[in-house]
Amino acid sequence: MAEATAERLADPDVEARLARLDEVLEGLEAAPGPTTRSATEAVRLLTEVYGEALARVLDHADGQLAERLAEDELLGHLMVLHDVHPEPAERRAARAVERLRPAVQERGGDVEWAGVQGQVARVRLKAGGGCGSGCGGGSNEVTDVVREAVLAAAPELTAVEPLPTASDRQSAPAFVPLATLTHRGAR
């Protein structure tokens, strides 16, 4: 018996289809009427059924297989979407930070996972000098990239709080009140 082989999509093709799906759904949601409501409900129901199917696959997978499935970018995102990811949000967010660390260090900065407090991820962030003076790549850009990566990996978290690194705190000049420098006591 011959096996049927379905054409597989490369990651860029998947990304293109997801972008197109977003466009189509936005257009659909903008159109009023019962047809729009029916179409939107059909998409929601289909998504729920696919989520249940994915959950059942994970029920049958051993720990190693579930881990391998979760490492796949597309499957990992679907598992998060359907709330069936085998890893806790904190671990996923920490891995996202570790994946970014080499690129941040390459630019003279550093990023380090500091944990979760409530629903807020905390990262120690030291912005580098970018590529030299005047080319951008400052702390806001690094903070934005880290925030985006962490919240994509763990959308259950509500925010990312950048913390200064230990070296940033040590290198900060000590505050000396002006009055202590200008006040001369009576002798």
User: Higher confidence at residue 148 or residue 2?
Assistant: 148
At 164 the pLDDT is: 84
Sequence letter at residue 132: G
Q: Where are the domains of the chain?
A: 15-81, 89-168
User: Higher confidence at residue 186 or residue 111?
Assistant: 111
Q: DSSP secondary structure string, the chain?
A: -PPP-PPPPPHHHHHHHHHHHHHHHHHHHHS-SHHHHHHHHHHHHHHHHHHHHHHHHHHHS-HHHHHHHHHSHHHHHHHHHTT--SS-HHHHHHHHHHHHHHHHHHTT-EEEEEEEETTEEEEEEE---TTSTTS---HHHHHHHHHHHHHHH-TTS-EEEEE--HHHHHHSPPP--HHHHH-----
In this prediction, residue 51 has a pLDDT band, given cuts at 50, 70 and 90, of very high
pLDDT digits 0-9 by tens, 105-141: 998 999 999 999 999 999 998 877 555 444 444 578 8
Going by CATH, does the domain composed of 89-168 fall within 3.30.300.130? yes
At 102 the pLDDT is: 95
In this prediction, residue 166 has a pLDDT band, given cuts at 50, 70 and 90, of low
In the predicted model, what is the mean pLDDT of residues 62-84? 92
In the predicted model, what is the mean pLDDT of residues 48-61? 96
pLDDT digits 0-9 by tens, 150-165: 999 999 999 999 998 7
User: Higher confidence at residue 149 or residue 184?
Assistant: 149
What Cα–Cα distance (Å) separates residue 144 from each residue in 106, 109, 122, 126, 161? 17, 14, 13, 13, 11
Listing from the earlier edge strand, what are the strands of the sheet with 159-163?
A: 110-117, 120-126, 159-163
